[in-house]
Amino acid sequence: MSTRLDISIGPVQGFVSQSRRTRDLWGSSYLLAFLSAHAMRGAKRAGGKIVQPKVDNDPLFKWVCEEREGDPPRIGTLPNHFVVETDGDPRPIAAAATDSLRVAWGQVCDAVWRCFVEHAASDGNGTKDIWDRQVCRFWEVTWTAGPSDNGGGGLLARRKHWRSHRPPDEPGDKCSIMHDLQELSGFIRAQDRAKQDQFWERIRCRIRGLDLQDNERLCAIALVKRMFPRVAKDALGWAVYASRWPSTVYIAAVPWIRRVVSAAPGHAREYAKTVRQSAQSDVFPMQSPPFDCLLAPESGDFPKLDANYMRSGFVLDERLSPLEDGVGQDKREELAGALKRISDTKDAQDKPLGPPGLFYALLLADGDRLGKLVGAAGGDVVSKALTKFTDRVPKVVSGHDGVPIYAGGDDVLAMVSVPRALTCADEISEAYKNAFTGVSDEATLSAAVVFAHARLPLSSVLREAHHMLDDVAKDGNGRNSLAVSVLKPAGKHCQWVTTWTRGPSGEDRAVALLDQLKSALNHNAAEPGLSSSLVYRIRDTLSMLCGWDRWRPGEWGAVPKGIDLYPFLQAEIFRSLDIRMGERAAKRAESLASRVVSLLSPARNPQPAEGGGGRITEAGIDALLLARFLADPDDQEAYR
Render pLDDT for 407-447 as a digit per residue (tens, 0 to 9). Answer: 998 999 999 999 999 999 999 999 999 999 999 988 999 99
CATH of 3-160+168-241, one of 3.30.70.2220, 3.90.420.10, 3.40.50.740, 3.50.50.60: 3.30.70.2220
Question: Region 171-196: what's the mean pLDDT?
Answer: 95
Round to whole Å and give the CA distance between 221 and 181. Answer: 9
Higher-confidence residue of 583 and 96: namely 96
Mean pLDDT of the residues in the chain = 88
Least confident of 43-47, 220-224, 349-353: 349-353
Q: What is the pLDDT of residue 611?
A: 43
Contacts of 441 by beta carbon, 8 Å cutoff, 6+ apart: none
- Start-end of H helices in 456-564: 458-467, 510-521, 532-546
Round to whole Å and give the CA distance between 170 and 130. Answer: 9
Q: What is the pLDDT of residue 583?
A: 65
Q: How many CA atoms lie within 13 A of 1 on its CB side?
A: 9
Round to whole Å and give the CA distance between 515 and 522. Answer: 11
Residues forming CATH 3.30.70.2220 domain(s) in the chain: 3-160+168-241
- The yes-or-no verdict on residue 506 having pLDDT over 50 is yes
Q: What is the pLDDT of residue 185?
A: 97
In the CATH hierarchy, which top-level class contains the domain 358-489? alpha beta
What is the SS3 assignment for 182?
strand
- The yes-or-no verdict on residue 608 having pLDDT over 50 is no
Q: What is the pLDDT of residue 362?
A: 98
Residues forming CATH 3.30.70.270 domain(s) in the chain: 358-489
- The yes-or-no verdict on residue 503 having pLDDT over 80 is no
Question: Region 161-170: what's the mean pLDDT?
Answer: 67
Of the pLDDT bands very low, low, confident and very high (cuts 50, 70, 90), residue 640 is very low
* Sign of the Cα pseudo-torsion (177, 182, 188, 194, in order): negative
Of the pLDDT bands very low, low, confident and very high (cuts 50, 70, 90), residue 131 is very high
**The Cα angle at residue 542 between residues 422 and 475, in degrees rounded to 5:** 45
Q: What is the pLDDT of residue 585?
A: 77
Q: What is the pLDDT of residue 286?
A: 80
Is pTM, for the whole model, over 0.75? Answer: yes
Q: What is the pLDDT of residue 578?
A: 61
What residues pair up with 277 in beta bridges, in sequence order?
none
From the list 416, 599, 412, 596, the residue with the least C-alpha distance to 497 is 599
